[in-house]
Amino acid sequence: MTRALAQLTTPSTNASIDSLALDLQDLLQKLVIAHEQLLVFAAAREKALATFSMADLALGVKRENAVVAEVAKLERERSEVVGRLLESSAASGVTPKSAPVTIHAIAPLLSREREASVLAVAAQLRERIETLHAKNAALKVAAATLAAHSQGLLREACSLLNHSGAYCARGTVNAGPPVLTAIDVTT
């Protein structure tokens, strides 16, 4: 695929491709903003873990889930726009050579101005996603470490309370044998 072939398209196809490129750029920008929000929520999750605030952690996860749902919606829209962009470019006889289709593969289908702006926003998005993945990986390790530490503390507390043998491994009191008593209530 060459830029010369891309320039041989009809004006209506060029307008359609340019319009779709604007839509793609807009969706990528919205994805950047959503991933920036996820980075803010990851920082809040880190603080909640550091302070062992389960209420803050639950609230943060709830907010994060809403943004993740928005990212999924934006990704579906992005996929649709890329599909329409590929259909428009195929109508002009120009198609990307690589599979799977990436932003870099479809960028040459766009005008030079659009290509540069779409690639710039895509680079911003990739940076946010990589940062978010690294942050989430670190938080996963921190949460696992905190959970293991908490379990160790609970085992220690159970062993201290179980010196009499009254507590079982689940932390509940074992019922002993029935005690027979007799009380004379007639006098």
pLDDT in tens, 88-128: 877 555 566 656 778 888 888 888 889 999 999 999 999 99
Q: By percentage, how much of the chain surpasses pLDDT 70?
A: 72
Please report the pLDDT score of residue 180 as a whole number. 64
d(CA 1, CA 142): 48
pTM of the model: 0.71
| The residue to which tokens 């074992």 are assigned | 174
d(CA 96, CA 1): 7
92 contacts: CB under 8 Å, gap ≥ 6: 5, 6, 8, 9, 10, 13, 17
SS3 label, residue 167: strand
CB 139 within 8 A of CB 131: no
Q: Which of 2, 3, 12 is nearest to 111 (CA)?
A: 3
**Token pair listed for 110:** 């766009």
d(CA 61, CA 55): 10
Return the H-helix or E-strand segment holding 161.
helix 112-161
pLDDT in tens, 125-164: 999 999 999 999 998 998 888 888 888 887 777 777 666 5
